[in-house]
Chain A
Amino acid sequence: MQLLAPERLVVADDVCKLLPDSGLVRGRIIRCSGDAGLSLALSLCSRATQQGSWLGVVGVAHLGVLAAVEHGVSLERMVLVQPPNTSREWSVTVSAVIDGFDLLVVAVPARLSANDARRVQTRLQSRRAVMIIVDNMALSRSTSRFSSEREPDPFVADVILDTKTKSWSGIDNGSGYLQHRDVSIRVSGRRVARQREHLVTRRF
């Protein structure tokens, strides 16, 4: 008989209070949007990877590996996957990642169909993995949209963490270097009884 894995994955103390269940509940989808989204996602994953969970980063093309290390992610259990872009192939790839990994950080492709999204979500629930959706931070001269505006995606997130950087501190007219930022994080989603807003100072 196989013992059931604990119902939720632990998160670091500084992000614990953001989540309604003080941890990442298995089978659920969390969306980290806004201009501090990717950094928040890495914070959410770090403790779990240190304790043995594997993290699959799917389709996040420009992940800064140094940043992941600084957040505390265990690099030997982080695998970066470049999936195909078509709806069906993407969902097949993500399903394969779900089969083997406890934790996923994914960027959703533009044309994912509702059916394929539903398949992935069902698989996530039956395999009891956790998926964190982040925005694609592509930057080019034609689409200078790197602090993303929220894109609708076909997944129904259980918890939505919408970040908004208020200010950065540490630099001033040439001197210093970026050290901390004040971020407002709005917590909402279908598992959240009451929407609330946190103001946190983060080192990232």
Chain B
Amino acid sequence: MLASKRLAVLQCLDWSAVVAAKSSNSPCAVVHGQRVISRTPAAMQYGVQVGMRRRHAQALCPDIEIVAHEPNRDRSAFDTVIRTVNELVPLIEVSEPGLIVFAVRGPSRYMGGDEPMALKIIDALKTSIAANSLVGVGVADSRLAANIAAHASAVASNRSGLFAPYLVEPDKTSDWLAPQSVRVLSEFANINRETISLLERLGLNTLHDVCALGESVLAGRFGELGVELHRLSRGDEQHQLVVVAPPPEHLCVEKFDEPVCDQQVVVNSVQRMASAFTEYFSIHGTVCVRIIIAFESEDGKRSERLWYRPQGLTASAIVESAKWQLEAWPVAAGLARVQLIADEVRADTARQLKLWGGTTQTDETATQAIGRLSELLGSSAVQIAKWQGGRDLLDSYELVSATHVQTIDSANSDKQLTVAKWRGALPTPSPSVVYNEPVQVQINDQHGKLLSVSARHELSASPVVVIIGATSYKVISWAGPWPVEERWWDTARGRRLVRLQLVCEKITVEDTPQISAMLAILEHSEWTVAAIYG
């Protein structure tokens, strides 16, 4: 039995937006695809929320600064914070910019207790963080609880103007977690939002309800995921950790005969070690979720950092992390030694890919290819589609990494087509080409005026021509407008739009007409083409 590790989480709220904004007081939102992923407190005042579409945010706050998502910017800006905290705490874990996790036992004892430690760290950070950014520290026995506490601390310090760390009493974590809403599981523990909404519909609203149901009932209903939900709700770590003999030294340590200054050489050797490292654990049916990467320079300086990934660290994830650690560690002398140390290991549940359609030879070969492709390209470049339900063409299926699928019930997929159609869903046949970034177009009537739609969902006139860029298409026939209102009760995520099907014709160079059918959408007074029947 491993001793419980009391953790501290330092969170800088809305880091992406705070770093991107021109000044600390202006409203700013960072956008990825069409959705807001981070926004400054000033933007929040206008009602802008994470997950909202860009156009909606602009409608709420016309002066808002919209910045494209750039992970490198977030990372390099966070490096000063990392360095400051690292001076006080020798071993820290940074999995994403804005969040630092570390074990409290050592630092707390050294600095005279949990609270003095937290205050000391925040004090040290005063110079590296912008004046108005929200920072919080949470300390608890489980990662989930510490995350919730850190978030609460950050939000509270904004209101009072004073910083106050949130400390959950030792051994009281499960009691403290009990009244929390199940939503914290999707906000702080990366559980799928659909699963959480299902829990709520089943009448489970707090973590206490989830615990009370019992682990075996949850496992029966959700499989491996159910076990994780129960573990998180009672204050344990998400995964059951296993103890595996550490890999032989030649697999995880590389000593350079000559000190190396070229970063690429180091990265190549990390790549070799990472592949062998993950292979070793995979052979034992396990996967490493937390790893320490240690660099040692010729003159004896060491850089040690923890890296954590609940789904399991792949070789490419390890290489990414090593690169980030190297970039943030400016060292004049060359590198003499690189070491990978496994910190937390769990059973490899990615084996569940085998549940798909049985374990035929074809399935095995495909599964191996998926693994290899994920290593080559990164797991986000290899995806499968999961049924989610919804009216929007883009929302009914969610694309998820092929290697991180929890449970796929092959019987369910046959039911997909017979699932009761969402009201307001587009009639079949569905378009084969769907754009996730719709293109703005102009749709005009016979007088050249832009088409509009009245409050009673009537078109101002018949569409006659569609203009995309410099090309005009003549409208041959059309259907609609079909109004769609999504989540009318939710001011943040609500949408109102109309859809129009159009069949258009373009005269080509060969003088033969080219017929195309498309789906156009009018939202926030702008026409866009969302899909093509291609």
CB of B428 to closest CB in A, whole Å: 6
Chain B contacts for A67, CB-based, 8 A? 429-432, 434
- Given A35-B534, A80-B383, A81-B381, A166 contacting B362 (CB threshold 8 A): no
Chain B contacts for A64, CB-based, 8 A? 393, 430-434, 531
CB of A103 to closest CB in B, whole Å: 11
- Given A64-B430, A75-B385, A81-B381, A147 contacting B417 (CB threshold 8 A): no
Cβ contact of B517, chosen from A70, A83, A168, cutoff 8 A? A168
In the complex, are the beta carbons of A147 and B360 less than 8 A apart? no
Q: How large is the interface on A (under 10, 10 to 19, 20 to 34, 35 or more residues)?
A: 35 or more
In the complex, are the beta carbons of A35 and B515 less than 8 A apart? yes
Instruction: Decide yes or no whether A66 CB sits under 8 A from chain B.
Output: yes
Cβ contact of B362, chosen from A52, A65, A203, cutoff 8 A? A52
Chain A contacts for B372, CB-based, 8 A? 96, 99-100
- Given A66-B397, A167-B515, A37 contacting B534 (CB threshold 8 A): yes
Chain A contacts for B360, CB-based, 8 A? 52
Cβ contact of B384, chosen from A76, A96, A102, cutoff 8 A? A76
CB of A27 to closest CB in B, whole Å: 17
Q: Which residue of B lies closest to A100 (CB)?
A: B369
Which of B399, B428, B508 has its CB near the most chain A CB atoms (within 10 A)? B428
Instruction: Decide yes or no whether A126 CB sits under 8 A from chain B.
Output: no
Cβ contact of B469, chosen from A143, A164, A178, cutoff 8 A? A143
Q: Which residue of B lies closest to A82 (CB)?
A: B381
Chain B contacts for A42, CB-based, 8 A? 432
Instruction: Decide yes or no whether A195 CB sits under 8 A from chain B.
Output: no
In the complex, are the beta carbons of A139 and B362 less than 8 A apart? no
B 165-205 contacts with A by CB, 8 A: none
CB of B435 to closest CB in A, whole Å: 5
A 87-128 contacts with B by CB, 8 A: 92-93, 96-97, 99-102
Instruction: Decide yes or no whether A186 CB sits under 8 A from chain B.
Output: no
Instruction: Decide yes or no whether A6 CB sits under 8 A from chain B.
Output: no
Q: Which residue of A lies closest to B425 (CB)?
A: A66
Chain A contacts for B408, CB-based, 8 A? 76
CB of B517 to closest CB in A, whole Å: 5
Instruction: Decide yes or no whether A201 CB sits under 8 A from chain B.
Output: no
Cβ contact of A144, chosen from B381, B468, B477, B501, cutoff 8 A? B468
Instruction: Decide yes or no whether B396 CB sits under 8 A from chain A.
Output: yes
Chain B contacts for A83, CB-based, 8 A? 377, 381
Q: How large is the interface on B (under 10, 10 to 19, 20 to 34, 35 or more residues)?
A: 35 or more
Instruction: Decide yes or no whether A77 CB sits under 8 A from chain B.
Output: yes
CB of B528 to closest CB in A, whole Å: 10
In the complex, are the beta carbons of B469 and A144 less than 8 A apart? yes
Chain A contacts for B508, CB-based, 8 A? 149
A 1-60 contacts with B by CB, 8 A: 35-39, 42, 52-54, 56
Q: In the complex, what distance in Å separates the CA atom of A82 from the CA atom of B202? A: 37
In the complex, are the beta carbons of A35 and B440 less than 8 A apart? no
Chain A contacts for B436, CB-based, 8 A? 62
B 340-397 contacts with A by CB, 8 A: 356-357, 360, 362-363, 365-370, 372-373, 376-377, 381-385, 387, 393, 396-397
Chain B contacts for A144, CB-based, 8 A? 468-471
Q: In the complex, what distance in Å separates the CA atom of A146 from the CA atom of B529? A: 11
In the complex, are the beta carbons of B376 and A96 less than 8 A apart? yes
Which of A39, A67, A70, A92 has its CB near the most chain B CB atoms (within 10 A)? A67
Instruction: Decide yes or no whether B480 CB sits under 8 A from chain A.
Output: yes
Q: Which residue of A lies closest to B378 (CB)?
A: A82
Q: In the complex, what distance in Å separates the CA atom of A178 from the CA atom of B427? A: 8
Chain B contacts for A146, CB-based, 8 A? 433, 516, 532, 534
Q: C-beta contact mask, B412-429 vs A, less than 8 Å → 1, else 0? A: 010011000000000111
Q: In the complex, what distance in Å separates the CA atom of A107 from the CA atom of B413? A: 27
Chain A contacts for B376, CB-based, 8 A? 92-93, 96
Q: In the complex, what distance in Å separates the CA atom of A53 from the CA atom of B479? A: 38
In the complex, are the beta carbons of B479 and A175 less than 8 A apart? yes
Chain B contacts for A54, CB-based, 8 A? 362-363, 366
Instruction: Decide yes or no whether A174 CB sits under 8 A from chain B.
Output: yes
Cβ contact of B477, chosen from A74, A99, A147, A173, cutoff 8 A? A173
CB of A70 to closest CB in B, whole Å: 6
Instruction: Decide yes or no whether B478 CB sits under 8 A from chain A.
Output: yes
Chain A contacts for B363, CB-based, 8 A? 52, 54
B 457-471 contacts with A by CB, 8 A: 459, 462, 468-471
- Given A137-B534, A178-B479, A81 contacting B373 (CB threshold 8 A): yes
Q: Which residue of B lies closest to A58 (CB)?
A: B373
CB of B463 to closest CB in A, whole Å: 9
Chain B contacts for A176, CB-based, 8 A? 479
Instruction: Decide yes or no whether B402 CB sits under 8 A from chain A.
Output: yes
CB of B356 to closest CB in A, whole Å: 5
In the complex, are the beta carbons of A39 and B362 less than 8 A apart? no
Q: In the complex, what distance in Å separates the CA atom of A80 from the CA atom of B381? A: 8
Chain B contacts for A93, CB-based, 8 A? 373, 376-377
Q: Which residue of B lies closest to A60 (CB)?
A: B433
Instruction: Decide yes or no whether A155 CB sits under 8 A from chain B.
Output: no
- Given A144-B468, A146-B534, A84 contacting B377 (CB threshold 8 A): yes
Chain A contacts for B480, CB-based, 8 A? 174
In the complex, are the beta carbons of A69 and B435 less than 8 A apart? no
In the complex, are the beta carbons of A165 and B469 less than 8 A apart? no
In the complex, are the beta carbons of B357 and A204 less than 8 A apart? no
Chain A contacts for B369, CB-based, 8 A? 56, 96-97, 99-101
CB of B337 to closest CB in A, whole Å: 32
Q: In the complex, what distance in Å separates the CA atom of A142 from the CA atom of B434? A: 19
Q: Which residue of A lies closest to B380 (CB)?
A: A82
- Given A137-B534, A147-B516, A79 contacting B370 (CB threshold 8 A): yes
Instruction: Decide yes or no whether B439 CB sits under 8 A from chain A.
Output: yes
Beyond the given pairs A52-B360, A178-B533, 14 more chain A to chain B contacts, judged by CB atoms under 8 angstroms and listed by A's residue number, are A38-B432, A42-B432, A64-B433, A65-B399, A79-B366, A80-B384, A81-B377, A99-B365, A101-B366, A139-B529, A144-B468, A174-B459, A174-B478, A181-B517
Binding site for A on B (CB under 8 A): 356-357, 360, 362-363, 365-370, 372-373, 376-377, 381-385, 387, 393, 396-397, 399, 402, 408, 410, 413, 416-417, 427-436, 439-440, 459, 462, 468-471, 477-480, 501, 503, 506, 508, 514-517, 529, 531-534
Between-chain CB contacts (< 8 Å), 16 pairs: A63-B432, A66-B430, A75-B385, A93-B376, A96-B369, A100-B373, A140-B469, A146-B532, A168-B503, A168-B515, A171-B479, A171-B501, A175-B479, A176-B479, A178-B429, A178-B479
Pairs of residues from A and B, 5 with the lowest C-beta to C-beta distance, nearest first = A100-B369, A141-B469, A171-B479, A66-B430, A144-B468
Binding site for B on A (CB under 8 A): 35-39, 42, 52-54, 56, 62-70, 74-84, 92-93, 96-97, 99-102, 137, 139-144, 146-147, 149, 164-168, 170-179, 181, 203-204
